[in-house]
Chain A
Amino acid sequence: MKISKEMLKGNTVTLLLSLLNREPMYGYQMTKEIEKKSSGVFTFKEGTLYPILHSLEADGMIESYWWGNKGSRQRKYYRITSAGKSLLKEKEQEWITFRSAVDRVITGEVYAW
């Protein structure tokens, strides 16, 4: 089943931060990881990842570094900062509250029917 774009859009920051909270990653790796972890539910145009990563970096939530030998493949890795970790905690809490509220409304409707 395809998920609406708007729904994914509101949560990309949370998804990216939680990925980076485990280990530093580069852009391509992150898109593949999200696809795999969500069993293919989350697919998006990969180019749109970079504006989000760059703005998270400008806000100091993540930081980047280049890694790899010169000449061979160089990759730009991102890692989470301490500010990013506290933002992630907030976002997770927000998601839990949102999810349980949606659940309650949905199941309530079922009973009312």
Chain B
Amino acid sequence: MVITENDKFQEFVNEVCSQINLRDAHQEIKLELMSHLREGCDGYLSQGFSEDEAVSKAIAQMGDAALVGNQLNKVHKPKPEWSILALSLLFVSTGLLVLYFMGNQGLLTASFFIKGLIYTTLGVFIIAGLYFFDYRKLEAYSKHIYVGTILLLAITYFTGLLISGKHWLQIGGVTLDVAAISPLLFAISLAGILNKWDWSKSRMLLSGLLLCVMPLVFILLNGSLAAGVIYFITCMVFLIVSGAGYRIVLLLMGLTGGTTALSIISKPYILHRLTTLINTHANPLGSGHQNIMLRNLISSSGYYGQGFTFDPRGIPAAHTDFIFAYITYTFGWIAAIILAVLIMVFLIRMTRIAVIVKNNYARLLVSGFAAIFTVKFLWNIAMNLGFAPISRVGLPLISYGSSQLIINALAVGIILSIYKRKNLSKIFN
């Protein structure tokens, strides 16, 4: 085809797109209209028209570019996911409010509220920024994020600080729990890597399983069983969503089961922590102590709470992992149930996006995030009620924690970015 003809077509599609506000939709619409114009042009050529005539006839047949563009703009008007945005903001505000109350009660120093305020502001900026960012550009960096996270875990393992069996990375004055934030980073990278993965080829199957198991090994090396469990469940969800079939899911279960068993054998305290949960009353002064304290605390809360009388003895770090217990005790069962219902709504809305979204990469991303948020929320609430192993699993977006808040804000931002562009398919090169 001669270049000048392409120019006329280009002019037409550009005029159509100049009417469409959602810029990320332009590329696909241009391609679709361009292919229509070429097809029409070929039709006229075969009818014996000259090239010039065929081109202008094909364009005339399309109608008014501005009108078509205007109608397309109405269809592609971005609609933000208000419920997820509003609930995320509500959750981070709840976290801040609790920090404020705890400061007033003398449970925390005032600096926690200031720090919380700074991290929350940063988180809100991340969410807002990612909403405007086209998440589809992220897919190209999947491998980099994967390798980067593995390296970060390896550095933490070899050079990090060891506190009660767990490795922490120290950068400047900040201590970072790399293992705890790694499941989300692996979810982002594996969504891109496993997108359109062909599980039926044996070589692909093998490398796919290896890609799934390797992060688990590094997470467990850093002594974080909770992050390992969260990562494992995310992996399962990925395999199911990417169409691997139940046999491969079972295979991965076996592999990870073996890996976890090995890590438990090498670190007996993990096994100890699990068995105390099953039989908490056997040794009330031992590791089951905290579970009993929590159950007593929760059962003494009442419908309307005990006001600001929380006793920090027995429940350390109430602003991080045990914030749900604090909220229940202080504001009562009704408040706790309302919070739990809102969390359920948040998780259901997120899962719904995974179902309706068109782009396969986006579906993997959202289902990975939904899996992580679901496990964290449920585990933390069950743990606060005294029914799950006590582990370093915070209540997402609500618990105090710098790196956790930032990484969760990242996930919420990507989800909002996906919803805004839910009708767009992949990027073409």
**A residues lining the B interface (CB < 8 Å):** 26-28, 32, 45-48, 50-51, 54-55, 57-58, 60, 63-66, 73-76
A82 to B68, CA, bound (A): 28
A82 to B36, CA, bound (A): 27
- Other-chain contact of A74, B31, B33, B43, B74 (Cβ < 8 Å): B31
- Not counting A48-B63, A54-B72, A73-B39, a sample of 6 additional A-B residue pairs whose C-beta atoms are within 8 angstroms of each other reads A27-B32, A45-B61, A47-B64, A57-B423, A60-B356, A76-B28
A113 to B17, CA, bound (A): 54
Judge whether A50 and B32 touch: CB under 8 Å. yes
Q: B358 within 8 Å of A by Cβ?
A: yes
- Other-chain contact of B68, A32, A50, A74 (Cβ < 8 Å): A50
A50 to B358, CA, bound (A): 18
Interface of B is mostly: helix
**Which residues of chain B are within 8 angstroms of A32 by Cβ–Cβ distance?**
43
**Which residues of chain B are within 8 angstroms of A74 by Cβ–Cβ distance?**
31, 35
**Which residues of chain B are within 8 angstroms of A27 by Cβ–Cβ distance?**
32, 36
Q: B425 within 8 Å of A by Cβ?
A: yes
In this complex, the interface size class of chain B, counting residues with CB under 8 Å from chain A, is 20 to 34
Judge whether A46 and B358 touch: CB under 8 Å. no
**B residues lining the A interface (CB < 8 Å):** 16, 28-29, 31-33, 35-36, 38-40, 43, 61-65, 67-68, 71-72, 74-76, 356, 358, 423, 425
A58 to B76, CA, bound (A): 9
A28 to B33, CA, bound (A): 9
- Other-chain contact of A45, B35, B64, B72, B356 (Cβ < 8 Å): B64
Judge whether B33 and A47 touch: CB under 8 Å. yes
**Which residues of chain B are within 8 angstroms of A75 by Cβ–Cβ distance?**
35
A11 to B392, CA, bound (A): 59
A9 to B35, CA, bound (A): 24
**Known contacts A28-B35, A76-B35, A47 near B425 by CB under 8 Å:** no
**Which residues of chain B are within 8 angstroms of A45 by Cβ–Cβ distance?**
61-64, 68
Residue of A28, A48, A60 with most partner-chain B CB within 10 A: A28
**Which residues of chain A are within 8 angstroms of B76 by Cβ–Cβ distance?**
54
Judge whether A47 and B65 touch: CB under 8 Å. yes
**CB of A31 to closest CB in B, whole Å:** 8
- Provide a sorted-by-A list of 27 A–B residue pairs whose CB atoms are within 8 angstroms: A28-B35, A28-B36, A32-B43, A45-B63, A45-B64, A46-B36, A46-B40, A46-B63, A47-B16, A47-B62, A47-B64, A47-B65, A47-B67, A47-B68, A48-B63, A50-B29, A50-B32, A50-B33, A51-B68, A51-B72, A54-B72, A54-B75, A73-B35, A75-B35, A76-B28, A76-B31, A76-B32
**CB of B96 to closest CB in A, whole Å:** 37
**CB closest chain-B residue, reference A28:** B39
A28 to B29, CA, bound (A): 14
- Other-chain contact of A64, B43, B63, B425 (Cβ < 8 Å): B425
A63 to B43, CA, bound (A): 26
**CB of A75 to closest CB in B, whole Å:** 6
**Which residues of chain B are within 8 angstroms of A73 by Cβ–Cβ distance?**
35, 38-39
**Which residues of chain B are within 8 angstroms of A46 by Cβ–Cβ distance?**
36, 40, 61-63
**CB of A10 to closest CB in B, whole Å:** 16
A32 to B28, CA, bound (A): 22
**CB closest chain-B residue, reference A45:** B63
**CB of B270 to closest CB in A, whole Å:** 46
